[in-house]
Structure 1
Amino acid sequence: MKNTLAERLATFLAAYQPFSEIPFEELVSVAATLQIRTLEKNQILFKVDDPLHPFFYIVASGAINLSVVADAEETLLNRCETGEILGLRPFFAKNNYMMTAKAREESIVYGIPIDTFRPLLLTNSQVLDFLLQSFASTAPRNSLSTMGKSGLVNDTVRGPEGSTELQYFQSLSYDKKPLFVKASDTVQVVAQQMTDNLKQSAVILHNNMLLGVVTEHDLSSKIATGRLPLTAACQLIASKNYVFVPENTSLAEAQLSIIRHNAPLLLVSADGTETTAITGVIHLSDLISAQANNPGLLIKEIKKALSVSELKDLREKMTDFIQLAIEKKVPLSHVCAITGEVNMALIKRCIDLAVLDYGSPPCRFAFLSTGSQGRKEQLLKTDQDHFLVYEDVAIDRVTAVREYFLRLSKRTTQFLSDIGYSECPNKHMANNLNWCKSFSDWIQQYSDWTSKPGLKNQENPGIFFDFELAAGEAKIEESLWEHVMSVVPKNKKFLAYLANEAIKRPPALGFFSKFNLEEDGEYKDLFDIKNRAILTYVEIARVIALSREIKGSTNTYSRFKQLAMLEPKHADVYQVASEAFLMLLKIRTNEGYKSGSDAAYIATDELSKSDRERLKSAILPLKELEEIVKSKFQLTFFS
């Protein structure tokens, strides 16, 4: 006979993550074992310091508040509503609950047995990833090894929108200098050494043989409870619940090892076995800390940030991610794509905060990023480039609408500046009346640029052809692109103008392939990697992509990749150019983090010999690209 109740419960679970990732037949088996609990308003499901339940929970109806009490004041961390999960601590930690779950109203929750659910994680990495990120997002920061007592993660228990693919690239920061102690050392001595060295554990060795590991949990559960005295030998309280992993273990692999073996920590060795020396310890808190810096979670935190100071802290977290990703050789195209999404989320949240100050917009609009932000190539804190388009309104509303969006743009620009994005020196920002106007005015602007290129005193409008929506109406962005693609590809004179601007930049290399350095001024004897190399690639990719009617991505790397498919004759040149461009970005980014600047100018004599050779190799394809440009466009218009 079918268990119709279990099937109904499984149908409910299947509508929500992570259960939607599990085959329905397996969900029915889980549903047959779950516990149904009805809670009255203000009834507590579990509270701080309660022993862990054998269940985790999903809200079936109503709402559950998660809170902590500090200095006699209750602080609400989160509210879990229908379909959201809570109470994941028993999965990932051994100590008691660290927050209180209390019904906000009459509620029903389903308790899902952890022993029943755990085996499903071993065959489904997406479910595992969701649960660990959910746990990370609701864990108090002061439970993390590296965060310190700085408040609480402001996040929900929902999973991030981003892909989990990155976690198979993302490496872990962990304790690479384990504390080693002797078996004869007393618990008191070991505890003091752990405190003095800020360690969460101590590895017990005897004649280079591993006897066990003492953890903070062992101290609290076996000593603080009075089961053994402080004078006991540490070996008596040591745990043997650990797993060996190799030194290059990724975040996802570490997660899976902890779940598969129900182990509180991982021991790191060169080959992942106990036959080689222990070189590190990975604690659960290291995984949670890594998750807290995961871009998917960063975007979620950004969306819920309530102040510019919070956004500034989150921007710093992204900086940490970029540095780690580059060090661990994550493909730079991948890093650029993810960083671009985080940058866009920061811009959008700044706009949201500005709207809170000035009220709802009077009409639909689009806030568009340009320059490196629009191309998703902004790995450093470079300057802002953006413009705003608002829909056409009745003549009697024009002045009020324009004034609103100028105020909004000024506040947004200030917020972005406070986060760390300096204002554009050329004033290519939406707080400039020239770059904050109606859709019709923008159509006229693009028509003017394309019909009258190269006018005296007219600056190169190229970056305004690299735009991407940061906030607002996607239809406005789409309509603007439709206009651009209707007037640019067939306008040979304008394309020739863009092409001429691209190849007339000062050359990067001189005779004997020596770097052309700045001869005077503030940057004397430095190499202008931005203008002499990076932007030449950007502008060549842009003009050829526009001529081929490529839209959908303004990223330079992606443009070259698409051109390689469209033009087999030049495919090899475009492929090499795409990789060379990424190499230039990588060199600039590394130098920027070393110097704490935007690294537009770099000291080539301070580069390693291999980096100097890489820099030269990344510049050399420009010569072939320039020949392609000369053959494609009638540069005699502007000779």
Structure 2
Amino acid sequence: MENTISTRIYDFLKEFPPFHLIAKEALLAICGEMEVRYVEEGETVFKQGNNPDKHFFVLREGAIGLYREMQDKSLLIEICDEGDLFGLRPLLHEDAYRMSAIAKEESILYAIPVQQLNKIQQQNEAVASYLTFSFQTTAAEHRSEAESLLQMGKKISVEKDALYFDLQPISFTANPITIAASETIQQAATLMTKHNIGSLLVAKEGLPIGIMTDKDLRSKIATGTIPLQGSVEKIMSAPVITIHSRENVAEAQLQMVRNGITHLCVTEDGSPNSRIVGILSEHDLLTVRGNNPSVLLKRVNRAKSSTDLKEIRTKVNTLLARYIEQGAPIAFITEVVSNINKAMTARAIDICLSEMESEPPVSFAWLALGSQGREEQLLMTDQDNALVFEDVGEETYESVKNYFLTLAKSVTKVLHEIGFEYCPADMMASNPQWCLSKTEWKQQFHSWITNPTQEAVMFCTIFFDFERMYGDAELVQALSDDVYDSIHSYEIFLNHLAKNAIQNPAPIGFFRQFIVESNGTHKNQFDLKARALMPLVDAARVLCLSYNISSKNNTVERYRALSEKEPENEALFDSCIDAFHILLRFRTEQGLQHGDSGRYVSLEQLNKVEKLTLKACFKAIKDVQELLQLRFRLSQML
């Protein structure tokens, strides 16, 4: 009779290295000898200084923290994620543990007998190489980072204030092994095995032109797609993403998140046009907080349902709260969360497409609007999105549109299940009004611009901040071109857009009192979004449109671009950036504190410092609105 427990363990392990390198029969045999252990939050799996267990561990569910006790300090070195190996010391050395493993939440472990895997690694060089590399990464590099932190005399708790760890300089592998693009894949694999490394930089005359990783070997060689005698050039990833040797961990991690990669090439000046000085892998970055952006992105890519994505988004909220508590730069927080949100949206679309009865009939693109389109959505606010599809003939139009409406309804439903509420105004791709062909969108934009009613201008403030989340980039670029073509054929539209941008003046009255809502559900509360954030957003948008700056949607990036166009107003735009950052952080803090969008603030709950900080931001609003009045001669329109 089949051992169902062993089979379940096998089904899990075969998806993770190095178990994917072990033959099915051998892995099933190992699974039959494993122990399944349950540990409570706070329970110690093994302790630093203890003699090694006869097992090492794979994390099935939960989270395990690896801690190093040094000079009366307990430093969190790494958070083990689902599928991670830990406690490898008894497998490779027989001395005491150098770290403690403690459950950060309820966890399930697979305890694998050392003796069983020893037999495997003696027969399987690839498995042995992976285990050795994993052990060396944890044991050596994490230790040196922890020691350097203590030597700096920083009186911080890594568990509570992990951001400072992220701001440490990167610790990379200097003088990495390189290979020429013309060498064979077999030669590259032999080199990687010889040096126990998981990647090779591909170089030409000392300059980086690509990178080859063990993932490339698994996905392109082990599958038989490309022969071993093929050239490295056929499987390398190019161009290689580079970073400066003096960069910090936070920026390195952000580069990995932004580009969806696990390795960075370190060069003399940080560009791909300078000589290679090292290589930085994801394993080189300390995982010093419970939720690592790179790990979360990996989980997104593995998600199979809205339930999986919802769990991840909950962890993103935890990460967000920790960043805010630690005082992390809001620009850094925004980019990290925006990248994860974008990945989640793309994964939701992939899931829904897999459930459709057929492939998309024509190319399409999914657009995020509003704050997500500007990459400024931190809290779980409602969704604003749209869909554009390639033009088709009249005879197929209805069937094509119905296909994308069906898809859009599925996607918005998944996003809702994740936690992004349906838009109360139904500004979603599931609404036939916002699921249009390329030509229909062009006509819609042209209509709004040439007939700028109050409703049309309102739509423009939402739809002009669109960002491609998924699909055909050329379709999205065509939409952007159409917008600017229409604006420059009817430039008076910018005056209407500028007029709308000053409808909410600086939110403080004659006696220096906050202007609050006079009626409704939020009576006597301050509307942080409408009266503080949106005036800055709207001003940046209209000014950038006037300069035909089409590549910037983010408010801060827009003001930076404006500073280059108008150096005489650089101080004003810098003050707008500072105000926007302060207000966005404040809204996020309020939302996390009250479990809502953070939009409405009860002034009696604010202390004096908070009120003074907000008032200081209002001067930037007043100044940039005065600039709009003069620039677009709005006094003539009022």
CA contact (8 A) 1:508 1:533 kept: yes
- The residue type equivalent to 1:484 in the other structure is V
Aligned partner of residue 442 in structure 1, secondary structure: helix
Aligned pairs (5 A) from 1:109-258: 109=126, 111-112=128-129, 113=132, 125-126=171-172, 165=248, 167=250
- Which residues of 2 match residues 475-624 of structure 1 at below 5 A? 475-489=474-488, 491-505=490-504, 507-624=506-623
1:382 is the counterpart of 2:395: no
Larger radius of gyration: 1
- Alpha carbons of 1:558 and 1:362: their partners in 2 closer, same or farther (altered >3 Å)? same
Deviation at 1:86, TM superposition (A): 8.3
State which of 291, 301, 315 in structure 1 corresponds to 2:313: 315
Q: Which amino acid aligns with 1:575?
A: D
Query: Per the alignment, in what secondary structure is the counterpart of residue 487 of structure 1?
Result: helix
- Is the CA contact (8 Å cut-off) linking 2:56 and 2:87 kept in structure 1? no
Matches within 5 A, 1:446-465: 446-454=445-453, 459-465=458-464
Give the corresponding residue for 2:328.
Answer: 330
Query: SS of 2:584's equivalent?
Result: helix
Q: CA 1:303–1:116 in structure 2 vs 1: closer, same or farther (change >3 Å)?
A: closer
CA shift at 1:442, angstroms?
A: 0.7
Residues 168-227 of structure 1, C-alpha deviations (whole Å, 9 max, x = no match) = 899xxxxxxxxxxxxxxxxxxxxxxxxxxxxxxxxxxxxxxxxxxxxxxxxxxxxxxxxx
- Measure how far apart 1:472 and its partner are: 1.1
**TM-score, structure 2 normalization:** 0.61
Q: Which runs of 5+ in 2 are unaligned?
A: 1-19, 37-51, 62-82, 90-97, 102-108, 146-169, 175-217, 220-240, 254-279
- State the Cα distance separating 1:42 from its structure 2 match: 2.3
**2:621 partner letter:** L
Q: 2:350 aligns with which of 348, 352, 355?
A: 352
- Separation (CA, whole Å) in 1 of partners of 2:399 and 2:333: 41
Give the aligned partner of residue 43 of structure 1.
Answer: 26
Partner of residue 111, structure 2: 98
Match of 2:301 among 297, 303, 320: 303
SS at match of 2:382: coil
Secondary structure, counterpart of 1:517 in structure 2: coil
Per-residue Cα deviation, 1:563-589 (whole angstroms, up to 9, x for no partner)? 112211111000000110111111111
Describe the SS at the equivalent of 2:126: strand
SS of 2:388's equivalent in the other structure is strand
Give the C-alpha shift of residue 111 in structure 1: 2.4
Q: CA deviation at 1:487?
A: 2.8
When residues 166 and 441 of structure 1 are mapped into structure 2, their CA distance, relative to the original with a 3 A threshold, is: farther
Shift of 1:401: 0.8
Distance, in Å, in 2 between the alignment partners of 1:39 and 1:419 is 36
Verify the 8 A CA contact 1:169 1:330 in the aligned structure 2. no
2:499–2:634 CA contact under 8 A, matched in 1: yes
> Would the aligned equivalents of 2:55 and 2:111 in 1 still touch at CA under 8 Å?
no
Q: Structure 2: how far apart are the matches of 1:606 and 1:598? A: 16
Question: What is the match of residue 201 of structure 1?
Answer: none
Q: How far does residue 385 in structure 1 lie from its aligned partner after superposition?
A: 0.7
The superposition leaves residues 321-345 of structure 1 with CA deviations (integer Å, 9 ceiling, x where unpaired) of 1111111111101111111111111
Aligned to 2:25, the other structure's residue is in SS state coil
Specify the SS of the correspondent of 1:494. Answer: helix
Q: Percent identity?
A: 31
Moved more, 295-304 or 86-95: 86-95
Runs (5+) with no aligned partner, structure 1 = 1-36, 57-65, 70-84, 129-156, 171-251, 260-286
The one-letter amino acid paired with 2:345 is I
**Aligned with 2:333: secondary structure?**
helix
User: Which 10-residue stretch deviates more, 550-559 or 43-52?
Assistant: 43-52
1:458–1:588 CA distance, 2 compared to 1 (3 A): closer
Kept after mapping to 2: 8 A contact 1:365/1:389:
yes
Q: How does 1:352-371 map to 2 (within 5 A)?
A: 352-359=350-357, 360-371=359-370
- SS of the residue corresponding to residue 111 of structure 1 reads helix
The residue type paired with residue 353 of structure 1 is I
Report the alpha carbon displacement of residue 119 of structure 1 after superposing the two structures with TM. Answer: 5.6
1-structure distance, mates of 2:307, 2:84:
28
1:565/1:392 CA distance change after superposition, 3 Å: same
Q: Cα deviations across residues 14-36 of structure 1 (Å, max 9, x unaligned)?
A: xxxxxxxxxxxxxxxxxxxxxxx
Q: Which residue of 2 aligns with 1:181?
A: none
Instruction: Flag the 1:393–1:68 CA change in 2: closer, same or farther, 3 A.
Output: same
Q: How far off its partner does 1:603 sit?
A: 0.7
**Change in CA separation of 1:109 and 1:363 when aligned onto 2, cut-off 3 Å:** same
Q: Indicate if the aligned counterparts of 2:468 and 2:476 stay in contact, CA closer than 8 A.
A: yes
Distance 1:455 1:421, change over 3 A: closer
In structure 1, give the amino acid aligned to 2:330: L
TM-score (norm 1): 0.61
* Per-residue deviation, 1:485: 2.7
Secondary structure of the residue aligned to 2:365 is strand
The superposition leaves residues 1-54 of structure 1 with CA deviations (integer Å, 9 ceiling, x where unpaired) of xxxxxxxxxxxxxxxxxxxxxxxxxxxxxxxxxxxx996552249664698899
Give the letter for the 1:442 counterpart: W
Q: Name the CA shift for 1:588/1:495 in 2 (closer, same or farther; >3 Å).
A: same
Partners of 1:618 and 1:38 in 2: how far apart? Answer: 57
Residues 1:407 and 2:406 aligned together: yes
SS in 1 for 2:615: helix
Deviation at 1:636, TM superposition (A): 6.1
